[in-house]
């Protein structure tokens, strides 16, 4: 599996996880009054509900925290589908970072709710983290990882298309493996300092000497 | 100012605005005025209550943390623009990441404050008053400016205008540049019997056949120098100086 395919798979997995996480509870609060009455407040990515009062309860209201998360999930899907294009990869990165910022802020809000000071006056509030935080964290990691994997990263190693040239430092005067060809003097067959242009055309066909006339070190 | 410079300026302005906005009121909800006021005011770092004894009822969320980190990343992206051209990809991706985190944080903060300011139990008969703070609107503006800055940072550099005449150079490729010249291709014309002459004279005296090896009065070359016997041919006006031995016979080359 190539890196880009793995990134697309991560993006495709993270998007539905985000959608599911918006419907899971971010936190559950239990309010206990001294006179025995209790109330439970649950918040998801879309609303706050409580089990007291009518309908959604005394604290029931809309809380559309999931809206930016859903938009981020849509961007992740679009980026996964169009990962082959440059704009698709940028959309995937935007979606992942949008999800990260949104989940990060929601995490701060839930953490603040968890660390809420006890108001006193006969009221005790106990807060538990919901499953949505874990799912959102997993989805964020998958989204950021997937968005990074689908990108075109520049290669760190230069390509090997051009011939490799190794430069030998210092004196490079070793004898070649087959010696140095010497010119053969016409008529004698012995090596000498004759010019290659004076070699007879029918002696060897080449102004260079036979292997016996090579000089080697 | 080109588009990239404008993007850098907007990115820095957006980062500064976002950081400042976290210290301003994001929302206010309460009742009463003056000393009898009763309510909450939230910023990106804390919640202030009036009176102070109400502090336990309001969660103090640190909304400013992701916003400030995104702002720092935005400034880093603006600084990375000054890298060489082949490294500017880092600036673009950093800008995308910073803007994404900033927009996501601002959007969610807006939703949190909006939900907080519109509780369901506040009906017609509830005297609670609520309002969005200046910090929230500044955060929204910072997010919008960050998006614009990121788009501008992705602008392509302006191509320099060509100076002087424009010359289109054709690639010397056998498949593409094979058109016939306007006046045709010049064909070499050799003297009659030129190609046979060196073959007859090779290795034998030329006068054995009763004719000169060089029909045009040139002295015979000594044997054993084939490279010189196949030397230049006579020039024909309008013909190439070096006729090829691989060309066809002289009769076939006559126009």
Q: Tens of pLDDT along B175-218?
A: 555 667 777 877 878 777 777 765 555 544 444 444 444 444 44
For residues A187 and A109, membership in a common domain is answered with: no
Contact B99 A97 (CB under 8 A): yes
For residue B197, being part of any structural domain is answered with no
- State the Cα–Cα distance between residues A140 and B105, nearest whole angstrom: 14
**Structural domains in chain A (count):** 2
Mean predicted confidence (pLDDT) in B230-243:
45
Question: Which of A18, A46, A97 to probe by mutation at the B interface, max B CB count within 10 Å?
Answer: A97
pLDDT value of position A156: 67
- B84's tokens: 């060489």
Residues of B within an 8 Å Cβ radius of A: 55-57, 59-63, 65-66, 70, 89, 93, 96-109, 111-112, 114-115, 118-121, 224-227
Using CB atoms, pick whichever of A93, A98, A115 lies closest to residue B104. Answer: A98
pLDDT value of position A62: 85
Looking at this predicted complex, what is its ipTM?
Answer: 0.71
For residue A154, being part of any structural domain is answered with no
For residues A38 and A81, membership in a common domain is answered with: yes
**Structural domains in chain B (count):** 1
Express each pLDDT in B83-124 by its tens digit. 887 777 888 899 999 999 999 999 999 999 998 887 665 455
pLDDT value of position B56: 61
- B131's tokens: 């309002």
For residues A96 and A199, membership in a common domain is answered with: no
For residue A110, being part of any structural domain is answered with yes
For residue B33, being part of any structural domain is answered with no
For residue B85, being part of any structural domain is answered with yes
The more confident residue out of B197 and B138 is: B138
For residue B40, being part of any structural domain is answered with no
For residues A199 and A104, membership in a common domain is answered with: no
For residues A142 and A186, membership in a common domain is answered with: no
Secondary structure tally for chain A: helices H, strands E: 4, 5
For residue B167, being part of any structural domain is answered with no
For residue A45, being part of any structural domain is answered with yes
Chain B residues with CB under 8 Å of A72 CB are 104
What percent of chain B shows pLDDT beyond 90? Answer: 35
pLDDT value of position B105: 97
pLDDT value of position A204: 45
Express each pLDDT in B160-173 by its tens digit. 777 777 777 666 65
Kindly report the three-state secondary structure assignment for every residue of chain B: CCHHHHHHHHHHHHHHHHHHHCCCCCEEEEECCHHHCEEEEECCCCEEEECHHHHHHCCCCCCHHHHHHHHHHHHHHHHHCCCCHHHCHHHHHHHHHHHHHHHHHHHHHHHHHHHHHCCCCCCCCCCCEEEECHHHHHHHHHHHHHHHHHHHHCCCCCCCCCCCCCCCCCCCCCCCCCCCCCCCCCCCCCCCCCCHHHHHHCCCCHHHHCCCCCCCCCCCCCCCCHHHHCCCCCCCCCCCCCCCCCCCCHHHHCC
For residue A106, being part of any structural domain is answered with yes
Q: What is the CATH classification number for the domain harbouring A10?
A: 1.20.140.150
| Gap from B249 CA to chain A (nearest CA, Å) | 28
For residues A113 and A187, membership in a common domain is answered with: no
For residues A200 and A97, membership in a common domain is answered with: no
Between positions 50 and 79 of A, the ones with CB within 8 A of B are 56, 58-65, 67-68, 72
User: Which residue of chain A comes nearest to B223, CA vs CA?
Assistant: A201
For residue B31, being part of any structural domain is answered with no
For residue A159, being part of any structural domain is answered with no
Express each pLDDT in B9-32 by its tens digit. 999 999 999 999 999 999 988 887
Q: What is the pLDDT along chain A (217 residues), one digit of tens a residue?
A: 789 999 999 999 999 999 999 999 999 999 888 888 888 999 999 998 888 765 555 677 888 999 999 999 999 999 999 998 999 999 999 999 999 999 999 999 999 999 887 777 788 889 999 999 999 999 999 999 999 999 988 776 665 666 767 776 666 667 777 777 787 777 665 544 444 444 444 444 444 444 444 444 4
pLDDT value of position B54: 65
Using CB atoms, pick whichever of B65, B100, B111 lies closest to residue A97. Answer: B100
pLDDT value of position A18: 97
* Domain span at B111: 3-24+63-119+136-153
Mean predicted confidence (pLDDT) in B41-66:
82
Q: Is the pLDDT of residue B158 over 60?
A: yes
For residues A100 and A187, membership in a common domain is answered with: no
User: Which residue of chain B comes nearest to A71, CA vs CA?
Assistant: B104
Question: Tokens 């919901």 correspond to what residue?
Answer: A130
* Domain span at A185: 180-210
Q: Is A151 exposed, middle or buried, given 0-12, 13-18 or 19+ CB atoms closer than 10 A? A: middle
For chains A and B, what is the number of CB pairs under 8 angstroms? 121
For residue A105, being part of any structural domain is answered with yes
For residue A76, being part of any structural domain is answered with yes
- A58's tokens: 């005394």
For residue A34, being part of any structural domain is answered with yes
Express each pLDDT in B212-232 by its tens digit. 444 444 444 444 444 444 444
> What's the angle, vertex CA A161, arms to CA A155 and CA A162, rounded to 5?
115
For residue B111, being part of any structural domain is answered with yes
For residues A128 and A21, membership in a common domain is answered with: yes
Contact A64 B111 (CB under 8 A): yes
pLDDT value of position B109: 96
For residue B46, being part of any structural domain is answered with no
Q: Which of A126, A149, A172 is the last residue of a domain?
A: A149
Express each pLDDT in B70-89 by its tens digit. 999 999 999 998 888 777 78
């Amino acid at each position: 599996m190539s890196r880009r395919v793995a990134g697309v798979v991560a993006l495709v997995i993270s998007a539905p996880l985000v959608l599911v996480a918006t419907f899971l509870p971010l936190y559950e609060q239990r309010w206990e009054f001294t006179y025995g009455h209790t109330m439970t407040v649950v918040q998801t990515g879309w609303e706050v509900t409580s089990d007291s009062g009518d309908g959604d309860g005394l604290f029931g209201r809309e809380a559309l925290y999931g809206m930016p998360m859903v938009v981020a999930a849509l961007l992740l899907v679009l980026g996964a589908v169009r990962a082959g294009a440059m704009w698709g990869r940028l959309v995937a990165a935007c979606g992942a970072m949008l999800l990260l910022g949104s989940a990060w802020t929601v995490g701060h809000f839930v953490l603040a709710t968890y660390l809420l000071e006890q108001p006193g006056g006969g009221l005790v509030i106990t807060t538990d983290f919901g499953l949505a935080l874990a799912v959102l964290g997993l989805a964020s990691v998958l989204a950021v990882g997937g968005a990074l994997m689908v990108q075109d990263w520049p290669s760190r190693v230069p390509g090997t298309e051009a011939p490799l040239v190794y430069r030998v430092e210092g004196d490079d005067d070793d004898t070649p493996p087959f010696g140095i060809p010497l010119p053969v003097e016409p008529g004698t067959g012995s090596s000498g300092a004759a010019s290659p242009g004076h070699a007879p055309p029918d002696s060897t066909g080449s102004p260079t000497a036979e292997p016996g006339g090579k000089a080697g070190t | 100012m080109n588009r990239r410079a404008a993007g850098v300026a907007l990115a820095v302005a957006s980062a500064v605005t976002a950081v400042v906005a976290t210290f301003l009121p994001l929302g206010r909800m309460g009742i009463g005025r003056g000393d009898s006021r009763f309510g909450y005011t939230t910023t990106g770092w804390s919640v202030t209550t009036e009176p102070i004894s109400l502090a336990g009822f309001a969660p103090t969320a640190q909304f400013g943390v992701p916003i400030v980190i995104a702002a720092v990343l935005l400034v880093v992206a603006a600084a990375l623009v000054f890298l060489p051209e082949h490294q500017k990809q880092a600036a673009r991706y950093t800008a995308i990441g910073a803007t994404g985190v900033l927009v996501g944080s601002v959007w969610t903060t807006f939703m949190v404050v909006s939900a907080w300011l519109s509780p369901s139990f506040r009906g017609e008969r509830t005297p609670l008053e609520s309002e969005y703070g200046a910090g929230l609107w500044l955060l929204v503006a910072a997010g919008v400016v960050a998006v614009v800055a990121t788009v501008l940072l992705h602008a392509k550099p302006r191509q320099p205008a060509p100076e002087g005449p424009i010359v289109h150079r054709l690639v010397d490729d056998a498949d593409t540049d094979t058109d016939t010249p306007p006046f045709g291709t010049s064909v070499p014309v050799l003297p009659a019997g030129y190609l046979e002459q060196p073959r007859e004279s090779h290795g034998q005296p030329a006068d054995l056949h009763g004719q000169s090896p060089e029909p045009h009065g040139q002295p015979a070359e000594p044997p054993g120098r084939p490279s010189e016997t196949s030397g230049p041919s006579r020039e024909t006006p309008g013909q190439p100086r070096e006729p090829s031995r691989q060309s066809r016979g002289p009769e076939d080359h006559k126009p």
